[in-house]
Amino acid sequence: MNWDDLRIIAAVRDEGSYAGASARLRIDETTVGRRLSRIERALGLRLFEAADGARRPTRQCEAVLAHVEAMAAHAAEIGRLSESVEGPVGRLRIASTNTVAEEVLSPRASDFLRAHPGLTLQFLTASGNVRFSRWEADLAIRLRKPEKGDFAISRLGDIKLYYFEPVATQGEPMLCAYPDELGAIPEMQFLRTKTARARCVTDNVRVIRNLIRAHHAAGVLPEYVCADLLADRRLRATLLPKRRDAWLLVQNHLKRDAAARVTIDWVRACFQEMARA
């Protein structure tokens, strides 16, 4: 049973014949009869009776038609949704790390969504990358340049990195580092110049920030999570010479989609605003 079949029931009731329903729906008259027979077998009901040369709905058919008419009304309302909302309409899934979503995107999302009532954003946050090639996301923000694939890649900008260490501490501060699989990132390249061994290893920058905030640890953090640390006089901040690139991935079929375009522009504006700050 499907919506096309159910529409046939209403057409036969309104036109009074298979031929009339066939002309209205622009399908063969034999197809009308075959689909009605299929519905009757599925429901175990007789839908129409022949009377005075016309097809008359049975009592059971009238009950079915009440639901069909409700479904038709809902279908019409769905079709009018885009007319009732100004601007682009759509649902976009954005994949990023937790901290990018929390510190860069979400603080600016409220104004964006209020300005575009037809849009819905779904944030997919994780330390690992979603499988973008399998369409698990519509847009993705990566902090390492991805390999080429069947999607559009563009650079969002670069992110400043700071090395924090306590101004006064007894002995060497506890060094915080990232896992070995992130050895190619600028943060780890800098930390390898330090003689102290890492005492805390994590891919969660908030964990590192909390240790540094206690004034007994040292580590490297991206600019979007360390505004309060830069203002802390008990910490020494060193700007790293290398920066971290941010990249935007977009599914190819969305490059000309209105909802995707306005969302892409907003993501770019988020990173530009962060850089200006």
Q: What is the pLDDT of residue 252?
A: 87
Per-residue pLDDT tens digits for 252-261:
888 889 999 9
User: Backbone dihedral region of 194: left (phi > 0), alpha (psi from -120 to 50 degrees) or beta?
Assistant: beta
Q: Check: CATH 3.40.430.10 for 3-81?
A: no
Per-residue pLDDT tens digits for 69-125:
888 888 777 767 666 667 888 899 999 999 999 999 999 999 999 999 999 999 998
Q: With contact defined as beta carbons under 8 Å apart, do 119 and 224 qualify?
A: no
What value does the mean pLDDT take over residues 45-53?
Answer: 87
- CATH number given to 90-159+245-276: 3.40.190.10
Q: What is the pLDDT of residue 169?
A: 72
The residues of the chain that CATH labels 3.40.190.10 are 90-159+245-276
Q: What is the pLDDT of residue 151?
A: 84
Per-residue pLDDT tens digits for 119-155:
999 999 876 666 666 678 899 999 888 777 778 899 9
Tokens of 37: 């027979």
pLDDT at 220 over 90: yes
Tokens of 77: 């309302």
Q: With contact defined as beta carbons under 8 Å apart, do 207 and 134 qualify?
A: no
Torsion angle defined by CA atoms of residues 143, 277, 99 and 128, in that order, rounded to the nearest 10 degrees: -10
Q: With contact defined as beta carbons under 8 Å apart, do 177 and 198 qualify?
A: yes
Q: What is the pLDDT of residue 130?
A: 61
What value does the mean pLDDT take over residues 25-48?
Answer: 89
Architecture of domain 161-242: 3-Layer(aba) Sandwich (3.40)
Percent over 70 (pLDDT), the chain: 94
pLDDT at 63 over 80: yes
Q: Model's pTM, two decimal places?
A: 0.67
Instruction: Tell me the pLDDT of the chain averaged across its residues.
Output: 89
* First-to-final CA distance of the chain: 58
The residues of the chain that CATH labels 1.10.10.10 are 3-81
